[in-house]
Structure 1
Amino acid sequence: MKIRAPKYEQIAEEIRKRIRDGIYQPKTAIPDQNTLAKEFGVSRMTIKKSLDGLSMAGLIYTRRGDGTYVLGDIPLKIDTNSPAQKHTGLTAELGSRLSSQVIQFTTIMPTEELMEHLKINHDEPVLNIIRLRLVNKEPYVLEHTYMPKKLMPNLNNRVLKHSIYNYLEKDLNLKLGGAYRKIHADFSNNLDIRYLGSQPNDPILEVEQVAWLQNGIPFEYSFSRNKYDTRSYTVLDINPANA
């Protein structure tokens, strides 16, 4: 049985098609959120989520107080790009194409490094999580994540196979604040070879991240690794007055 994509993804795909077909022309405004919400029979928040995804992909941009416009072609844009400054998690970014394989899920006591990054004491347990994220059932990113157990004591394998961020926001009512990321290159290790299909000494792109809640409390210290030819990161920098 084929799983139907979430409504916001369906709407985003329709708007993407209209841009591709020239219905929404480059440098022209698309209908406002209220108009689109009425057309598709959904809430304004659902439309916003659809437009956020298209903005992340570099297809549209917003002029404050003036509406949302079609950006036009960006020569460097490719489907595997991820916005380097976006903090929504892979599930929000990739939707139903994404699935997860839990490789490791244990509780450990923190090292000095974890104590520093997560702002915890030496006697506070840490969740130690390794997941393989797959896109269309193909290996995409290998994630090694550390989280303070006190923030999410009931985290389980069911959640790990889907979205931790959705669990934090919807089940625990925690508000995500932001993240600091360092992106660098590395050589493949044994886990990359086993789960990502890398070859020995293949280049690996690694994103080291510390993420925190709106109240400033760190909830994640993680490493996301992907093959050099699988994923890249983009920064879209627009001056709205001149776009």
Structure 2
Amino acid sequence: MTEAKYLKIARIIQNRIKDGTYQAQEPLPDQEALAQELGVSRLTVKKALDGLERKGLLYKQSGLGTFVLGDIPIQTDHDTSASVFSGLQEEIGEEKITSDIIKFAIEFPSEQVQKNLRLKSSDPVYEVLRLRRLEANPFVLEHTYMPVKLVPNLDETVLKGSIYHYIHHNLGLKFGTAYRKIRASKATAWDKKYLEAKQDDPILELEQIIWLTNGHPIEYSTSRNRFDTRNYVVFQNKDF
């Protein structure tokens, strides 16, 4: 999988923030200037800046530009934005994330999956259970349902990489809306087996439904991780 241009630009800007090229509370060069310097479109720069804003590295002031926020004392390496939908490989790095396929099947949906994905009982779905590893260590246990009619030709090669990359780049589909619910849970037998969770370890579960821009639900899934491996954060950059 080829890394998206906006991710490369985001990494360049993030490195400049880290090395002090761009100082805290100081404005960045405008998007047009960055686009010319880095040899990309203004849209690519905007997408990179939006991603860095969600991470809490930047903030925007209407009519003034984009500024470097600086260090956030409570931020940790385990933090990930609750509003990122690019997939783990793009978010963290293709070279760091691998996938163990625990289950991959085509079946008819349960009543709950029918309701969540607006399907008939005769509409086949993929059921995918994957253990995502971060640098070979158990990271996230993903349980995903997708309609076969919307995601044709899904196979193990795709599952070993990024499903979202396949949906966006190979199928040309775009996400439009998503609803996410984040809650604490007790460790299950699967969490103990695949996430190496202990009996009393709290588990963080993210349950979500994702719709395409045309309004069709394309994914219902849950993602579970141990309390000590991943946090979900929201960066608020509005008057409130």
Return the TM-score normalized by structure 2. Answer: 0.90
Counterpart residue number, 1:80: 78
Deviations 1:94-147 (A, max 9, x none): 122222222110011111101100000011111000111122222211100011
Q: Where in structure 2 are the equivalents of 1:161-240 lying within 5 Å?
A: 161-239=160-238
In 2: Cα distance, 1:182 partner to 1:165 partner: 19
- Report the count of equivalent residues: 239
Distance 1:212-1:5 versus aligned 2 partners, 3 A rule: closer
- Residue 221 of structure 2: SS of its match in structure 1? strand
**CA-CA distance at 1:65 after TM superposition:** 4.1
In 2: Cα distance, 1:30 partner to 1:129 partner: 42
Q: Where in structure 2 are the equivalents of 1:41-190 lying within 5 Å?
A: 41-96=39-94, 97-190=96-189
Unaligned runs of 5+ residues in structure 1 are none
In 1: Cα distance, 2:209 partner to 2:85 partner: 11
**CA-CA distance at 1:39 after TM superposition:** 2.1
Percent identical pairs in the alignment equals 48
- Residue 112 of structure 2: SS of its match in structure 1? helix
Matched-pair contact (CA < 8 Å) for 2:7–2:90: no
Counterpart residue number, 2:31: 33
The one-letter amino acid of 1:127's match is Y
Distance 1:99-1:8 versus aligned 2 partners, 3 A rule: farther
**CA-CA distance at 1:4 after TM superposition:** 9.7
Deviations 1:31-77 (A, max 9, x none): 12222222223333443343233222211122344321111222221
Q: Which moved more, 1:17-26 or 1:185-194?
A: 17-26
In 2: Cα distance, 1:121 partner to 1:228 partner: 36
In 2: Cα distance, 1:98 partner to 1:43 partner: 28
Distance 1:4-1:177 versus aligned 2 partners, 3 A rule: closer
The one-letter amino acid of 1:130's match is L
Q: Which moved more, 1:40-49 or 1:81-90?
A: 40-49
Unaligned runs of 5+ residues in structure 2 are none
In 2: Cα distance, 1:186 partner to 1:73 partner: 31
Q: Which moved more, 1:96-105 or 1:200-209?
A: 96-105
- Residue 207 of structure 1: SS of its match in structure 2? strand
Return the TM-score normalized by structure 1. Answer: 0.89
**Could you say what the CA RMSD is over the residues aligned between the two structures, in angstroms?**
2.2
In 1: Cα distance, 2:117 partner to 2:8 partner: 37
Matched-pair contact (CA < 8 Å) for 1:204–1:226: yes
**CA-CA distance at 1:218 after TM superposition:** 0.5
In 1: Cα distance, 2:217 partner to 2:125 partner: 12
Q: Which moved more, 1:18-27 or 1:169-178?
A: 18-27
Q: Which moved more, 1:213-222 or 1:160-169?
A: 160-169
Distance 1:130-1:213 versus aligned 2 partners, 3 A rule: same
Matched-pair contact (CA < 8 Å) for 2:60–2:237: no
